[in-house]
Amino acid sequence: MIDLKNTKKIKGDASFRTFFRKTKNNKSSIIVFTKKEKRKNLLIYDGINKILLKNNIVAPKLFFEKYSKGLMEIEDLGEKTVFQILKNKEINKQIIFKRSIQLLNKIQKIKDIKVKTFKNQDYHLEKYSKKILLKEASLFCNWYTPKVLNKKNLLITNLNLKKQIKLLIESLKLKNDTFVHRDFHVSNMMYNKNEFGLIDTQDALIGNIAYDLASLVDDVRFKTSLNQKNRMIDYYLKLNPQINKEKFKNDFVILSVLRNLKIIGIFTRLSVRDKKNNYLKLIPYAWQLINLRINKNKIFEQLKEILKSNFPNKIKI
């Protein structure tokens, strides 16, 4: 049974989960509690962690669960995120990013994607379908545009945006055949016993090999120079010479733009629906990243015109 004594609430994430650190006899664990989306936030979260652990990747182990109460107790991977390490000005950021990319390489080699959940049910990762990509990018239209556009422009703008999003998704060239964390950034990597581990894994799917690198390189939470971004991409491609570079770079920029449109929509939703306003401060950098990727790239010409005419203060190119 989960003992809620000696617990302290700790910083959460953008999900419906609440986290507590439990300390007892100089040992600690994490209590995860959720009222909503129990299957994803508890059952699938643990199932994906099991897949990672089975493939020798650091992820939280399950100690105990009380699914009916929306609770589980998992391993504590500590308090030091890779984000916190990178904030140290004396750290060689290139070394840290190389280690992050090495971790990405490791998860992308996962082939064994089936496990038994704690309910003794078979679970395997599903495909990151075009339908899911469209639904995610459309969050920009569902939440952000209604907040900033007048009703007269809203309908036609959203129709045009969704048309362009669909065209971009159809322009992807690589297959959905790779383990994708879907939120692979430095705040979701933990430094644990000299290894990098993963948290917040519940959204993982089998998708495009470029997606997680786009999450890391164009991370809305941690700003990096264009030079640093290019060095990360080059290092990844050096580790993976078998990848078609032209197709990869095509998919990388498309997925980066779609992801950041999604992020702007999600962060707006978190503010409007859930009263979590602290994510709003990240939206300006998400716009900068969209600017960066659509600039001088023919595939985005029509999208750029729509964004520029409707959000002139955001699109600077």
Q: What is the mean pLDDT of the chain?
A: 94
In terms of CATH architecture, what is 79-114+125-310? Alpha-Beta Complex (3.90)
Read off the pLDDT of residues 88-128 as tens digits, 9 standing for 90 and up.
Answer: 989 999 999 999 999 999 999 999 889 999 999 999 999 99
User: Cα–Cα distance between 22 and 297 in angstroms, integer?
Assistant: 50
User: Cα–Cα distance between 282 and 220 in angstroms, integer?
Assistant: 6
Read off the pLDDT of residues 160-208 as tens digits, 9 standing for 90 and up.
Answer: 999 999 999 999 999 999 999 999 999 999 999 999 999 999 999 999 9
Read off the pLDDT of residues 121-156 as tens digits, 9 standing for 90 and up.
Answer: 999 999 999 999 999 999 999 999 999 999 989 999
Read off the pLDDT of residues 245-302 as tens digits, 9 standing for 90 and up.
Answer: 999 999 999 999 999 999 999 999 999 998 999 999 999 999 999 999 999 899 999 9
Percent of the chain past pLDDT 90, that is, above it, reads: 88
User: Cα–Cα distance between 244 and 255 in angstroms, integer?
Assistant: 16
pLDDT at 58 over 70: yes
What values do phi and psi take at 79, rounded to 5? -110, -5
User: Cα–Cα distance between 150 and 162 in angstroms, integer?
Assistant: 18
Token pair listed for 211: 């997606």
User: Cα–Cα distance between 260 and 264 in angstroms, integer?
Assistant: 6
Q: Which stretches of 176-298 are DSSP H helices?
A: 211-217, 226-239, 245-272, 283-294
The pTM of the whole model exceeds 0.85: yes
User: CB of 267 within 8 A of CB of 282?
Assistant: yes
pLDDT at 2 over 60: no
Q: How far apart are the first and last CA of the chain?
A: 58
User: CB of 291 within 8 A of CB of 316?
Assistant: yes
What values do phi and psi take at 181, rounded to 5? -65, -40
Confidence of residue 62 (pLDDT cuts 50, 70, 90): very high
SS3 309: helix
pLDDT at 14: 66
Domain ranges of the chain: 79-114+125-310
